[in-house]
Every structure is written in structure tokens, then in C-alpha cells.
Amino acid sequence: MKPRRRSVGLVHPLLAILAALCVPAQAAAQQSATEAVLWHGPWYLGMTSGVADLSITGNVGTLTLTNNENFGAEAVAVSDLERDNAQLRFRALGADGKTLSCQIPVSADGAKARGFCRYAGFNLRFELNRVSSLLDKR
């Protein structure tokens, strides 16, 4: 009977340790789902260029493009936003009523997104860098 008590005595502390390890992992997963992130960098269309700011919180975002009169200078809502380790996908409606459609590859470390978006029949090149979490700036 004593060996049986010892095995039960060892199992209980092991379960407590495993439970303690799982709680931070769940908290980190919940935080990343609502994390506010800013992507910032240049965009290019032929000889024209400007700066893009893509702000994402959860599954909601806004996009601002400077120096693009057709798209507009105001922040616009982003729709169909999808993020994974390999790509950043979204759509945004410009001030002229035309849709910007993006599917940009993200670097393996998640720090850079480089690629083309389609807008009004043209390819806009984006070279975005992930700026530290907006929550870190508070």
C-alpha cells in the first residue's frame, strides 16, 4: 500500500506544475489575439511614393497612405483582415471608391511585410516594418 501512496503523492505535484505552465500560455494566446500592432513603411507606385501606416487591433484595422490623392489622406477602415505567420491579407476602400486589395508576405520573424497590393488596376509595392506593439507605447 505504501508504494501506491508514493505514486499518488508524486502525481499531484506534477499536475500542479503542468497547470501552472499552461496558464501563462493561455494568457499569452489571448493577449496576441487582441494585441494592437502598427505596421509602418513606404509604398511605391511607379515614380510616386509615400508612407503607409497600418494599425491592427484584433481583427479590426485602419490604413493611412500619404501622398496618394486618389486613395485619400484620411485613415480608412480595413476589411477582410487575416493574419498568419506567412501573410497579411486585407482590403481597404479608397476615397475614390476603388478597392485596395493586399496579400503581402510576412518575413519568418514577423518583423517585415514586403509585397504588392492591387489598387485601381495598378500594383502598389509595400515595404512595411512591424513597429512595437501599440500597447507598449502607453
Question: What percentage of the chain reaches a pLDDT higher than 70?
Answer: 71
Task: Count how many Cα atoms sit within 13 Å of the Cα of residue 100 in the half-sphere of its side chain.
Answer: 31
pLDDT in tens, 3-29: 555 544 544 444 444 444 444 344 333
Q: State the pLDDT at residue 2.
A: 56
**DSSP label of 106:** B
> What predicted TM-score, i.e. pTM, was given to this entire model?
0.70
Q: State the pLDDT at residue 83.
A: 86
Q: State the pLDDT at residue 94.
A: 94
> What's the pLDDT band for 132 if we cut at 50, 70, 90?
confident
62, containing H or E segment: strand 60-65
Can you tell me the distance from the alpha carbon of 49 to that of 21, in angstroms, rounded to the nearest whole number?
48
